[in-house]
Every structure is written in C-alpha cells, then in structure tokens.
C-alpha cells in the first residue's frame, strides 16, 4: 500500500480564486496533467466510481487522486489500498475545495509519470459548485436513490459540470426515479452535458464513461 500523505488545508479569503485556478490550469496544461474535479452528495459513490474507473483504465493511463474530507482519511486509505497514489486533504470543517487547496494538494502528490489526477471533492451538491478548483473538467455523480428532482434543487452543480454520472442504476425499479425526466431536466439547464448511466457496484456502464474520460485525457495530453 502506498503511504497516505495527509495535508491540512484552509481557505485563503484574501486570495483571488479565479486567478489561482487559471494559473493552475495553465501549469497543468504545460505538465500534461488532466485534472478532473468529481463532485456529488455524500454517499453517491465517488470513491467507488474512482476505483472502478482506474481499474478499467489500468495500463492505459496513470492516475493520482486528491481525496478531500472534512475530518477522516477513510477514502484515501481505500484508494491507496488499491495501489493508487493518493493524498488526503483535510478541510477541517470546510465545505468545499478551492484552487489554493488543490494547488497545495498537487504539491503533495508526486505528479511524475501521472496522466490524470482526480479530485474527490467534499460530499456536497451546493458549495463545491461555486469554486473553480483549476480542473480541466468538472464531473458530478447523481445516485438513483437521491431522486430525479435534483437538477431542480441544485441547478448550479448541474450547470458547471461537463459530465453527469448517474450511479447506482442497480437501484432503478426500486424507486420512482425516471431517467427520461432526469435527462429532460438536465438538458434544460445544460444541453451539452454528457450523461453516463452506471453502477460502480455491478460494473455496468463503467466502460462507456471510462472510454470517454480516456479520449478526453488523451486529446488533452497529446493535443
């Protein structure tokens, strides 16, 4: 198991987050590191999706992970146990990551040889949507048990993300979740949003999303 580095991060309220995010994006572009910011509610399956994605693309792309949590290291432990280079960012009660925290996290992660870094943001559909982390792509997970009404309630999150992973589709049929209704609601907010249906548990649909991510990352790295 790789060692887990724990970094305490704090918000710098003086900082111009947009500027720091732009600088970080420029640096990552030079370094050819494809940074993905993954957001969702608590328990939607961020860690499981990350692990399944990395497993699917093993041998194709080298991944690192920045795990953000208010106060624990359970996710970084899970990811490191799978042999993935990971850093735990502890936000100390803070509800989202900003570009300063991500910059600090990337300094703690050895980027040598990596192609893709996934940020697992704090589990929260509200605040993380408001802060540019410097990522090249924003992705979100909505899990089926949360319901198909979430675009109505958390519109900013569905607007700022490039891709939506509808996870836990093995729960479809147990709830009144209507995929067509969800797709309509998403299209009204963000017509260009890519949507992938999947179950990190059964593995269904993981390949389609991973293929998309791989194409995006390769065209960024080689483009």
H-state helical runs in 125-178: 150-153, 155-160
Among 111, 156, 193, 221, contact with a copy of itself (rule: CB under 8 A): 156
CA angle 207, 196, 142 (to 5 degrees): 120
The answer to the question of residue 152 lying near a copy of itself (CB under 8 A) is yes
Window of 19-27, 51-59, 81-89, 166-174 that interacts with a copy of itself by CB under 8 A: 166-174
Site string for a copy of itself, 17-56 (x = CB under 8 A): ------------------------xxxx------------
210 lies in the site for a copy of itself, by CB under 8 A: no
Binding residue (CB under 8 A) for a copy of itself from 33, 168, 209, 220 = 168
Q: Per CB under 8 A, does 71 bind a copy of itself?
A: yes
Residue 202 burial (CB count, 10 A): 12
Q: Of all helices (H) and strands (E), which one includes residue 117? A: strand 116-120
Q: In what order do the strands lie in the sheet with 63-69?
A: 5-8, 85-90, 63-69, 116-120, 34-40, 137-143, 163-167, 194-197
Judge whether 57 and 63 are in contact, CB under 8 Å: yes
Q: Of 49-57, 103-111, 119-127, 214-222, which part binds a copy of itself (CB under 8 A)?
A: 119-127
DSSP 56-93: HTTTT--EEEEEEESS--HHHHHHHHTT-EEEEEE-TT
Select from 37, 100, 121, 124 the one that contacts a copy of itself (CB under 8 A): 124
Residue of 95, 111, 172, 195 interacting with a copy of itself (CB under 8 A): 95
181 binds a copy of itself (CB under 8 A): no
Q: By CB under 8 A, name the one of 4, 147, 162, 193 that touches a copy of itself.
A: 147
């Amino acid at each position: 198991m790789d060692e887990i580095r724990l970094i305490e991060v704090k918000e710098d309220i003086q900082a111009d987050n947009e500027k720091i995010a732009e600088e970080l994006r420029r640096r990552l572009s030079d370094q050819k590191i494809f940074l993905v910011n993954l957001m969702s509610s608590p328990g939607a399956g961020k860690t499981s999706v990350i692990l399944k994605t990395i497993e699917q693309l093993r041998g194709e792309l080298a991944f690192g992970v920045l795990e953000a949590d208010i106060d624990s290291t359970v996710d970084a432990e899970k990811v490191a146990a799978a042999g993935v280079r990971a850093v735990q960012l502890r936000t100390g009660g803070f509800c989202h990551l900003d570009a300063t925290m991500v910059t600090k996290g990337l300094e703690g992660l050895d980027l040598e040889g990596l192609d893709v870094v996934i940020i697992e943001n704090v589990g929260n559909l509200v605040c993380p949507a408001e802060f540019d982390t410097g990522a090249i792509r924003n992705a979100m997970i909505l899990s089926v048990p949360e319901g198909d009404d979430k675009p109505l309630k958390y519109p900013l999150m569905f607007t700022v993300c490039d891709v939506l992973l509808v996870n836990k589709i093995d729960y479809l049929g147990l709830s009144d979740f209507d995929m067509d209704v969800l797709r309509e609601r998403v299209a009204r907010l963000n017509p260009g949003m890519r949507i992938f249906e999947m179950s990190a548990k059964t593995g269904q649909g993981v390949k389609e999303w991973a293929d998309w991510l791989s194409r995006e990352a390769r065209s960024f790295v080689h483009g």
